[in-house]
Structure 1
Amino acid sequence: MSINCQRLPRPMAACGSDSDPMAQPRILFITRKWAPAIGGMETYSMRLVEALGESTDLRVLSLPGRADGRPPGSTALLGFALRICRERLFTSRDNDVVHIGDMASWPLALPFLVAKHRPQIVLSAHGTDVSYAGRKSWRGRCYRLYQRIGAYLLSGAKVIANSKATAQAARESGWADLRVVPLATDIAADSPLQEIDGRTLLFAGRLIPLKGCGWFVDQVLPLLPDTMRLHVAGPPWDETERRRMNHPRVDYLGTLDREALAGEYRNAICIVVPNVAMGNGQFEGFGLVAPEAAGAGGVVLASRTGGLIDAVLDGETGFLVTAGDAEAWAEKIMAVATWTREERVRFTDGARLRVQEHFNWDRVARETLTTYLGGELLPIQLSSRN
């Protein structure tokens, strides 16, 4: 097992020091989601650290994943927890903020509750790490109790959620002080708009029922002209979804590298993100594929559900379509398919610019820092996940 401990340099004096009361806060960021493991939480941890490290006094304790891209095992996690305890006992540094990288890891904050200089505890919520508490199984009920215990013990903690849907799920588990900071993307178009072939749709993501690819193949594809085909890029995590790849109008591309995926984004009539409602309480925490595809020059159609509502700026970076309404999906796809080149260029140019303005890591770091400092973000209204 290997544990990374980093102290990121910055141009300012350490925050909270007697000599400089106006300096930035001393932040300890703790995460079990780190390369070489692959996933959205890992990307979030590494890119946030990179963005924050440019202007803050930041120390990072991270547990690297396995070489094959999988997350660390239980033995490594136990060793990591012990390392955090040693950090608290034997490191003289006082932290103003201790930021835990995901909600399942909330116990890692407990050693800092007894510090002489008690830090502000901040946790990041991503989706699955809170939505699992909504499942009806005994595991879901146990996890809900686990989250409620965390919310009780860390009653003064702030939770940074990646969408309003994720914030709602966190609130239902007992967490009270919530902020919404949508994620960012690094993918951007580096070449002018190419001529699309006019007959290809694209689905990019894990093949699981929640993502709706199987539903789309069964319910929407038959409503479209026979000349239209669906390209699918992503790992087949569910056997039922994998079998849909045998459909005669589906071309399964496997898992693509960054450059190839960006090309598929630009070449498709539109990128479909057709998430469906799940009876087990599972939902999309954010849906990073939506701003990624828009940033690469694609036209995004996404379900109006879960965190996708925050991942798509409706009419600006893509379009939201009623989840589970096959006719509405077919109608919107055909509308986009009939755009002139000028209409497409006008929309995709505007979408790329909007993605660069809004879905960037500098904005994520700035809003995270605002949370650290006790400032207010735009108010959020939480009711349901739709």
Structure 2
Amino acid sequence: MVCGEALDRGDRLIVHMTERSILFLTRKWPPAVGGMETYSVKLTQALVRCTDAPVQVMALPGRRNGLPPTAIRLLAFGVISALRLLLRHRPPAILHVGDLALWPLGLFARLRSRRTQVVISVHGTDVAYPRRKGFGPRAYGYYLRTGSRLMRRAGVIANSDATRDVAAETGWRTKQVVPLATDFAGPPPTGECDPYILFAGRLVERKGCAWFVRNVLPLLPSHIRLKVAGTGWDESEWQVFDDPRVDFLGSLDSEALVEAYRRACCVVVPNIEPGSGEYEGFGLVATEAAAAGGVVVASRTGGLVQAVEDGITGILVTAGDASRWQAAIYRIASWTPGERQAFLLRSMEFCRSYYSWDRVASETLRAYGQRLS
């Protein structure tokens, strides 16, 4: 069902509040680029399709260059949002806070009306940051523990079992795990591929690209190249481009990325488990690649175990085990075109039926409980 009052104004959904309304509040919104931004936009669009309750978005847009808002804008957004929650004429039935860092805004909503149910999404870095060393992570850990005590009645939605477990380290109890989705899609598979492997995503330590280049690429036939599509990287990952078998593609638009997924012998998501305690909250690139028609090989770690349906949408391999990675890639390279096509037909069909934003919206609505009835 579609909310008839919804209007489109600059990529935001604006509706009139009623006693059955949903207010989604987020600091992650386009033109900033990232998984949490995608989640915010796609979920709110799907909520409008899947319920007749009015849906409103209160969002802080990112910068035009794709980066998040500045610290000053973020602080101003928090203050303005708190005032709007306190002073609004008609409080929402549901306040859905987009990530755990904004938990205090749930308090302001509850001060305005005890009838408002607060729901908070948790993702990855927003719960894992306290695992790092230093004053900042330690202070943020105290901040989250304080929130878990003050917001005991909040309904927490995690994007994976791994995120649920990390959130529990600071006292947050998850009500429901709702794996993410994608609207990536490719044409019917042909069974043909080119002799290259694709890595897509940010070049940071936990994503494992440098580890793959050092430990797995040398074990593969010399004619197989690694293509890297991504932006932004840690200095420690620069060594990736010193290898003569690595080609850097930069940032690709969605159409070019789908084609790169489809043409690759396989798409690798070789996450490792760094000493910093960082982990993959979900691993949306694995789901996107499978939906686009790529054969995915991913580490069996973090949220990737729910981003990949092992044996159906991809192959899960022990993180950090180079010999198993080599064996999995050799297996895929040995498929006949018919075997490859059959695998991809099953994979893409599963992605269409399960990794859909309407399914995410439906499960989110169930987490809201009875407040919309």
In which range does the TM-score fall when normalised by the shorter chain?
over 0.9
Structure 2: how far apart are the matches of 1:325 and 1:88? 50
State the one-letter code of the partner of 1:299: V
Give the corresponding residue for 1:36: 31
- What secondary structure sits across from 2:103 in the alignment? helix
Aligned partner letter, 2:27: R
Alpha-carbon spacing, 1:168–1:161, altered in 2? closer, same or farther (3 Å)? same
TM-score by length of 2: 0.93
Contact 2:190 2:337 in 1 (8 A): no
Aligned-residue offset at 1:80: 1.3
The match for 1:185 among 177, 182, 186 is 182
Distance 1:223 1:236 in 2: 27
Residue 232 of structure 1 contacts residue 250 of structure 1 at CA under 8 Å; is this kept in 2?
yes
Matched, 1:339 2:341: no
CA contact (8 A) 1:211 1:275 kept: yes
Q: Which residue of 2 is the match for residue 26 of structure 1?
A: 21
State the match for 2:46 in structure 1: 51
Residue type at the aligned position of 1:102: D
Could you tell me which of 62, 65, 68 is aligned with 1:68? 65
CA distance in 2, matches of 1:161, 1:265: 27
Distance 1:337 1:194, change over 3 A: closer
Residue equivalent to 2:75: 78
Query: Does residue 353 of the first structure (1) align with residue 361 of the second (2)?
Result: no
Q: Is 2:351 aligned against 1:367?
A: no
Number of residues paired by the alignment? 361
* 2:227 is equivalent to residue 220 of structure 1: no
| 2:229 counterpart (225, 233, 236) | 233
Q: Give the drift of 1:4.
A: 8.5
1:198-217 alignment, distance < 5 Å: 199-217=195-213
Q: Which runs of 5+ in 2 are unaligned?
A: 1-9
Task: Calculate percent identity across the aligned residue pairs.
Answer: 50
2:48, 2:70 → 1: CA distance?
Answer: 28
SS in 2 for 1:272: strand
The CA deviation at 1:270 is 0.6
Q: 1:242 maps to what in 2? A: 238
Shift of residue 142, structure 1, vs aligned partner: 1.3
- Decide whether the 8 Å contact of 2:175 with 2:367 is kept in 1: no
Partner Cα distance (1:62, 1:40) in 2: 15
The residue that corresponds to 1:7 in the other structure is: 14
User: Would you say the 8 A contact 2:87–2:112 is kept in 1?
Assistant: no
Tell me if structure 1 keeps the 8 A contact 2:191–2:337. Answer: no
Name the aligned partner's letter for residue 7 of structure 1.
I
Tell me which residue corresponds to 1:21.
none
Paired letter, 1:282:
E
Q: Deviations over 1:114-161 (max 9, x none)?
A: 124431111111100001122233222211111000111111011111
Task: Tell me which of 242, 247, 250 is aligned to 1:254.
Answer: 250
TM-score, normalised on structure 1?
Answer: 0.90
RMSD: 1.9
Amino acid at match of 1:240: S
Give the superposition deviation at 1:177: 3.5
Partner SS state of residue 139, structure 2: helix
In the alignment, what sits opposite 2:4?
Answer: none
Q: What's 1:19 paired with?
A: none
For residues 89-168 of structure 1, what are the structure 2 equivalents within 5 Å? 89-168=86-165
Aligned residue type for 1:324: G
**Amino acid of the structure 2 residue aligned with 1:284:** E
Q: Secondary structure at the match of 2:145?
A: helix
CA distance in 2, matches of 1:108, 1:260: 39
Contact 1:4 1:64 in 2 (8 A): no
CA contact (8 A) 1:157 1:177 kept: no
Matches within 5 A, 1:285-324: 285-324=281-320
Amino acid at match of 2:59: S
**CA displacement at 1:193 relative to structure 2:** 2.6
CA deviation map 1:275-297 (0-9, x unaligned): 00111110011100111111111
Deviations 1:49-106 (A, max 9, x none): 1111232211211111111111111221222122223322332113211110011111
CA contact (8 A) 1:95 1:119 kept: yes
